[in-house]
Structures are given as structure tokens and as C-alpha cells.
Amino acid sequence: MTSDFLHLVQICLLTLGSGCYFCKKITGMRIDILTVVPELLESPFNHSIIKRGRDKGLVEIHVHNIRDFSEDKHRRTDDYAFSGGAGMVMTIQPIESAINFLKLQRDYDEVIYTSPDGIQLTQKVSNKMSLLNNIIILCGHYKGIDQRIREHLVTMEISIGDYVLTGGELAAAVIVDSVVRLVPGVLSDETSALTDSFQDNLLSPPVYTRPADYNGWKVPEILLSGNDKKINEWQEQQAYERTKRLRPDLLKD
């Protein structure tokens, strides 16, 4: 059995109720985010589906200002790079203190650093992360963090794509969004997470709503037929054709 298949089994089991082993393993997921710009993360987790997950107590998201852990009298968290050149480097002390403060309170499965150097965030990575209990996400800024933090404290580095952002906060928001929506109960219809684009390496089929005819723009006839079997077949065929046309690389995996 592949780990991907196991993951799907786990998500399926989670849809059956809240008493099973896997449910216990992943409910109450806690995410601690370390940043020097907490303001950037005020909005993304306070609306819509992520807010619902938090309100239901299915996920806890805590944003910490790294400056609060600085022992510098000006609360500085960065310094010049030994190599010279433009750009400041985030220092070890405030980050280590913040991580130690959290680790004293609970065990963490991963300390994740958001970086363009990291493994690329994919649906598979998000699936796996959704099974973790407690994670720390460290957002980089300026020229980056002192390499020794990566060697001694960080356990995983994640990139959200081959481009450079001004800081890791938006990457952290993307990672959290993609993971939290997989936590059982966060989406109202849990199976909808299983039919997302990429869950089976296919893009989603197109969707339509009323009216069936908008000034001559018509919904495909099959969707009005009421024949579930035929509709499913049509959706599968559409998903495959769209993937072949728009993302043929997905079909090679």
C-alpha cells in the first residue's frame, strides 16, 4: 500500500466520525507561526473556511512576534551578514528562544522554514502535513536566517514556488490554508476535499449553477439529465481532458 493510498484511507475514515484512531491523531491540530511581521497574518486566518475551523476548535493557529523574544534592548532580530553585501540576516537568539518557549509546552512534529530552497508545496505535501498534530512555521525575512538555525532547529523547508517573496508570511498563509482545509470537519462536506484538483493528479471538472440557460450560454445537457452515473462519467472524462490539455505533466507522475 502506498503512503498516498493510506492517506486517502485516513481521510476517508475521518469522514466517518470522530471516534476513530486517525481522528484522534489529527483533530486539535495546532500551528504556531513565528514572524517579524505578524500584521501580515492578521487577515488570512480570520475569515471564511479557516475561521470556521478555528471557531469549531478543530485547529488552533497562533502567530508570535519574534521581536518579543529578542534580548536586544532595541528588540532587534537581524544583523549584518558576515559575507558583507546588502541585506540583513535574522539572528539566532530570538528565533531559538521562541522555538524553545514553544517546545517547553508541547512536542512539535516539524519546525518548518518557508524558503524558496525548500521542497515544493504540493497536494501530497499538504495531505501529509494535515496528519500532524503540532507544527511550527518560521517565516524568513530580509536576506534570510542564519544558516545555523536551519541546521540545528529547522526540520523541514517548504517553498510555495520558484519565485522570491519579500518574506515567508504569505507562503505560511498558503501552507496553512492548504493544510487546514484538509482537517476533518473544516470543510462542511468532507468528501469535497477528496475531489479537489490534484487529489488524484487530475484537475477538477468544470462546475455550473443556475440558470441552466443564461442568455443563450447553456449548461451541458448531461448535467440536467438527472442520471448520476452518466454525470460521474462525464465529470471524469472532463477532468482527464482538462488535465491532458492544461497540465499534461500531472499525468506523467
**Given the rule CB under 6 A, which residues bind ligand ADE?**
114-116, 140, 159-161, 163-165, 168, 171
- Rounded to a whole number of angstroms, the minimum distance from the CB of residue 191 to ligand ADE is 30
DSSP letters, 66-123, are: GGGG--STT---EEE-TT-SSSEEE-HHHHHHHHHHHHTTS--SEEEEEEEEEEEP-H
- Give min distance, CB of 221 to ligand ADE, in A: 43
Task: Tell me the closest approach of the beta carbon of residue 161 to ligand ADE, in angstroms.
Answer: 5
Q: Which of 61/112 has CB closer to ligand ADE?
A: 112
CB of 178 to ligand ADE, least distance (A): 13
Those residues whose C-beta lies under 8 Å from the C-beta of residue 157, and which sit 6 or more positions away, are 112, 113, 114, 115, 117, 118, 119, 150
140 vs 205, beta carbon nearer ligand ADE: 140
For residues 98 and 165, which CB has a smaller minimum distance to ligand ADE in the complex? 165
CA distance 147 to 111: 15
Which residues are paired to 180 by β-bridges?
none
Q: Closer to ligand ADE at the Cβ: 175 or 202?
A: 175
CB of 110 to ligand ADE, least distance (A): 15
Nearest position to ligand ADE, beta carbon: 171
Q: What is the DSSP string of 27-48?
A: TTEEEEEEES-GGGGTTTTSSH
Tell me whether residue 23 or residue 171 sits nearer to ligand ADE (CB atom).
171
